[in-house]
Amino acid sequence: MEEYFVRDEQKCAINASFNESDGTINAKVVSLKKWVDECPHLPVETIDEDFLKIMLLKGKFKEEKVKENIKNYFKYLYKHSEFFTGLADIIPSKEVGLAVVSPIVTPSWERIGILKVNFANIEGTFEFSKCFSVGIATAMIMFNYDYTPTLRLILDYEGFTIRHFFQTGVLQLFKLMSIYQNILKMRISGIEIINPPFLFRTVLNILKAVLSSKLYSRITLHENLNSLHENVPKQYLPSDYGGELQSIEELLKLWDKTFVQKKSFLRKIEQVSQTNPPAN
């Protein structure tokens, strides 16, 4: 649904917050297109103006940084192609993983995302890897279409136990971190953890060795919803969390429609990820 993506007038305000105008951004797009012409190893998708504008935003409009991000985007799509297979067949409301985003942004242009396990959709043995696909597909859609500079994540561990953590493949987690660091260059303003399982702080100590110190410092462990509301106002939360938005179930129905609308994009991502890029 298009309400998930900021409107043109909002884009102008976001650009202004970076001291950028349409003129300066268009000039940088032209410059990047010239650079792309000198990089025959990059796929044709690189010259899409909307893609370049998104990459400029995610790279804080710093051209050299953006060039590196673009190269890594396609390089790591191929390197981790197994995570991008079958994304077009996903129906969010039917998946083991649950990933939804708030349809409205905060005054500071922050998008709220929610990740949890949908235990009601589990058949047989729990496999944490089945949670990855819907999260990656959701992130790819938002990264490529939502012109918001920052994301605040709510990680809901309702129903989760420490036993579930030990069923998670360490290698897969490292690959997911690689995808986040090299493809999904989204700036995370905060990670709000609710319903943490017993001994979760032990898990956080393990994560401290994997995450950057900046990202780790943005993690908040909440004991209750009142604590969550201090970081995320109720108007940006589903009713499940004492918020003023629709329920998660209703948001998932909207998100199902968004996936149908973006099916061709998700198929294209799979195709690009399976195409071995020529050497630089």
A 10 A CB-CB count for 199 gives 11
- In this prediction, residue 279 carries a pLDDT of 54
Secondary structure element (H or E) that encloses residue 111, with its range: strand 110-117
Strand partners, 245: 238
Residue 276, C-beta contacts closer than 8 angstroms, at least 6 positions apart = 78
Residue 185: name the closest of 151, 208, 159, 220 by CA. 151
What torsion, rounded to 10 degrees, do the Cα atoms 273, 143, 75, 30 define?
110
- In this prediction, residue 280 carries a pLDDT of 54
Query: Does domain 1-278 match CATH 3.40.525.10?
Result: yes
- In this prediction, residue 1 carries a pLDDT of 40
| Side chain identity, residue 29 | V
Secondary structure element (H or E) that encloses residue 113, with its range: strand 110-117
The CA distance from 20 to 3, in Å, is 24
Give domain limits for the chain.
Answer: 1-278
- Triad 32, 37, 38: Cα angle to 5°: 95
pTM, full prediction: 0.90
- In this prediction, residue 277 carries a pLDDT of 60
- In this prediction, residue 245 carries a pLDDT of 94
Question: Could you list the mean pLDDT of each consecutive 10-residue stretch along the chain, which spans 280 residues?
Answer: 69 94 96 92 87 94 95 92 92 93 91 91 76 91 93 91 69 80 88 86 74 85 93 95 94 93 94 72
The CA distance from 158 to 139, in Å, is 21
Token readout for 101 is 């985003």
- In this prediction, residue 186 carries a pLDDT of 83
